[in-house]
Amino acid sequence: MSNCGMNKCLAAKKAGEYFGDQFHCAEAVTRAALESIGKAPDELVACSTAFGGGFGKSFQETCGALSGATLVIGHLYGRREPGESWEYPASLAAMVRDAFVEEHGTTKCISLREKFGPEAQMSECRKIVSSVTKELLDVIEQK
C-alpha cells in the first residue's frame, strides 16, 4: 500500500484488522471507509451484511470487499430523488471495479478463493479488504 495518504493507509489497515474476527469483507470495507471520512458507519455496515462471502456466503458472486465499496459509493453519492442522474456514482463504482479486475483478474469470490487456496485464503482476503478500502478512498478523493 505505497503512495497513500496517512488517513487512507490507516483506513486500509483498520479494514484489514476488522476483517475476520469482527466483520466480514463487505462490512470491514464499509466500516473502515466511512469512519475514515467521518461518517457514521453502523447503518451501512448493517446493510452490507448480506453481501459478505460473495452474496450470502454463497461465494458464487462478487467479492464482498467490492460490494462494500460499491455500497459506500451509493451511500455517499447515490440518488435521493426519482429521475436524478446516477452517472456519477456509477462512474465511481466502475473505477473501483476496473482497478479490482486489473489487479485480480476477476470479481468472483469463488475464483479468488480457489486461486488463494484454503491455507492462504484469510490472509489474501485481508489484503483485498485493505486494498479495496484504499482504492475506494482514492477514487472518492479524486472526484
Per-residue pLDDT at 27: 98
Q: Rounded CA gap, 70 and 31, in Å? A: 13
Per-residue pLDDT at 18: 97
The dihedral through the CA atoms of 88, 93, 98, 100 has a sign that is positive
Going from the first residue of the chain to its last (143 residues), give the mean pLDDT of each consecutive group of 10, the final group possibly shorter: 73 95 95 96 97 96 98 97 97 98 98 96 97 97 81
Per-residue pLDDT at 143: 67
Per-residue pLDDT at 21: 79
Per-residue pLDDT at 50: 97
Closest-CA residue to 37 (of 70, 10, 58, 2) = 10
Q: Rounded CA gap, 6 and 126, in Å? A: 19
